[in-house]
Amino acid sequence: MKKNYLKTDICKECGGKCCKHMPGIAHPCDFKKPLEESLIEAFRSGHWAIDWYDGDPVKYRYKLHNVLFIRPKVKGVSELFDPTWGGECIFLAYDGCTLKPLERPRGCRLMEPITTNKCLLHGGDKAACTRPWIPYQKVILKAARAVGESIKNAHRSEAPSSMEQILGI
């Protein structure tokens, strides 16, 4: 699979229809190593949120629930732990994405604009985008703790409040 399918001229003309619907999901490789330090920096910027997949992203295999992943924040939501569905990405400006093309989340880079009305999603569905984060659940929670946040503060839905206990942190 290619690393990106960006066609910024088409996206500019489109005005970011997908970005107004929901931010793209990041991949752990979108952040520099060590991941924990990069996540701390990202969380301090106020531009990134911790979301989770409501279900098991690897059905019948790990019996995992509420696997955490990272995505840009949605405008108007300040909480770090945010399972909100839908909303405009914080990086979208009137003339398109404010991130440099290769610094955009993998989920965004793998959207292939064909025309402004037709785009192909090469990155897979939400479960597929969540799976690469499975090995990094502790790292995410430790980075959140470092900026004074806890998953126990998540209050918008049935928070995976047992996650810290399960992971032993």
Using DSSP, state whether 41 is helix, strand or coil.
helix
Cβ neighbour number for residue 167 with a 10 Å cutoff: 13
Q: Does 104 bind ligand SF4 (CB under 6 A)?
A: yes
Residue list 132-151, contact with ligand SF4 (CB under 6 A): none
Please identify which residue in 74, 92, 110, 141 interacts with ligand SF4, judged by CB under 6 A.
92
Stretch near ligand SF4 under the rule CB under 6 A, chosen from 16-24, 35-43, 122-130, 143-151: 16-24
Give 37 or 112: the residue with its C-beta nearer to ligand SF4.
Answer: 112
Q: Please, which residues bridge with residue 51 across strands?
A: 69
Site for ligand SF4 in 114-133 (CB under 6 A): 116, 119
Round to whole Å and give the CA distance between 120 and 143.
Answer: 33
The burial of 29, by beta-carbon neighbours within 10 Å (0-12 exposed, 13-18 middle, 19 or more buried), is given as: exposed
Residue (19 or 80) nearer to ligand SF4, CB: 19
